Amino acid sequence: MSDKTMSAEEAVARLESGMTLGIGGWGARRKPMALVRALLRTEITDLTVVSYGGPDVGLLAAAGRIRKLVTAFATLDSIPLEPHYRAARESGALELMEVDEAMFMWGLRAAANRLPFLPVRAGIGSDVMRVNPGLRTVTSPYVDESSGTREEFVAMPALRLDAALVHMNRADRLGNGQYLGPDPYFDDLFCEAADAAYVSCEQLVENMGTAELTKEAAPQTLLLKRSSVTGVVETPNGAHFTSCVPDYGRDEAFQRLYATTPYAEFAERFLSGDEHAYRSAVEAWQREWNQ
């Protein structure tokens, strides 16, 4: 079996401009930020980004890499509105497919199951239909006995991805991935909906199924199967500044800095070098901030 480990640079080198890219996590929770930072160091642009949006969307939008965004929101959780996403929307800088949170999940499920769509009640009657004129409805072939009618649903199209980026607490060289926090979010669906999936992890372990940690954590924490994973990247602190419990919580102070600093200034200080340089710059800032 093949060793899928690679560097963050090698992972993003496999991406191309114009791709549809899914990004796992949720809001400012367990986002593959080190992979996003690596992506920002490339020239890749014109992306269609599919994400339960957080600072991943904010950074890529601020850097002008997103042509089209598919999302239900973009938030920093403790800061309700993602400032760079907001600026991009208010200047009309990106195309948006705005769908409901559940529609989004069913779009990923359809893609993971190789279906063209799945029927969902959500969306009917709302302006999601107005702002997405391409959305179609589907009528049930079965008569609902309570109303005597055939119900009409949104036919949520599959959100098929060229590539997915997700971040796990642990992974092995083969691509088995484990989350240890309270919520898997939808990272397995992102990987299954994608032609190629790159998984960063806090810590690489040998033989996931027999590793010490897996004996302590229940088997259902083994979220990602190697059959839907293309590459594995070990990136300690790779979700920073989003949360990655139990390894670490959100870096609220740094997130506030991110949210209140103009992007050019933030990028100059934190994103001009590699991941090691990022860590050093963050640590330097933390020393200053703690004084």
Partner 1 sequence: MSTTRAETGAKASRAEYCVIACAETWRGNGEVLASPMGVIPSIGARLAKHTFSPDLLLTDGEAMLVGLDGAPEGWLPYRQHLTMVTGGRRHVMMGASQIDRFGNQNISCIGDWAKPKRQLLGVRGAPVNTLNNPTSYWIPKHSPRVFVERVDMVCGVGYDRAAAAGPSATRFHRIPRVVTDLAVLDFATPDHSMRLASLHPGVTVERVREATGFELTVPDEVPYTREPTQDELELIREVIDPTGTRDREVTEPKSTRDREVPDSGRGGR
Q: Which of residues 181 and 236 has its CB atom nearest to partner 1 in the complex?
A: 181
Rounded to the nearest whole angstrom, what is the least distance from the CB of residue 161 to partner 1 in the complex? 18
State which amino acid sits at residue 242. Answer: T
* DSSP sequence for 169-215: EEE-TTS-EE--SS--TTHHHHHHTEEEEEEEEEEE-SSGGGSHHHH
Whole-angstrom CA distances from 182 to 122, 146, 178 are: 26, 39, 12
Instruction: Report the C-alpha gap between 172 and 129 in whole angstroms.
Output: 42
Q: Which of residues 120 and 257 has its CB atom nearest to partner 1 in the complex?
A: 120
Rounded to the nearest whole angstrom, what is the least distance from the CB of residue 96 to partner 1 in the complex? 8
Rounded to the nearest whole angstrom, what is the least distance from the CB of residue 9 to partner 1 in the complex? 31
Burial class (CB in 10 A: 0-12, 13-18, 19+), 165: buried
Q: Which of residues 2 and 148 has its CB atom nearest to partner 1 in the complex?
A: 148
Burial class (CB in 10 A: 0-12, 13-18, 19+), 231: buried
Q: Which of residues 260 and 280 has its CB atom nearest to partner 1 in the complex?
A: 260
Q: What residues line the site for partner 1 (CB under 8 A)?
A: 26, 53, 71-75, 80-81, 85-86, 89-92, 98-103, 105, 120-128, 130-131, 144, 146-147, 149, 151-153, 181-186
Rounded to the nearest whole angstrom, what is the least distance from the CB of residue 273 to partner 1 in the complex? 31
Instruction: Report the C-alpha gap between 127 and 65 in whole angstroms.
Output: 27
Query: Which DSSP state fits 260?
Result: H
Q: Which of residues 129 and 281 has its CB atom nearest to partner 1 in the complex?
A: 129
Rounded to the nearest whole angstrom, what is the least distance from the CB of residue 70 to partner 1 in the complex? 12
Rounded to the nearest whole angstrom, what is the least distance from the CB of residue 122 to partner 1 in the complex? 3
The owner of tokens 């229940």 is 218
Q: Which of residues 53 and 157 has its CB atom nearest to partner 1 in the complex?
A: 53
Residues 6+ apart with CB under 8 A from 265: none
State which amino acid sits at residue 48. Answer: T
Bridge pairing between strands 177-178 and 222-224: antiparallel
Rounded to the nearest whole angstrom, what is the least distance from the CB of residue 153 to partner 1 in the complex? 6
Instruction: Report the C-alpha gap between 52 and 103 in whole angstroms.
Output: 12
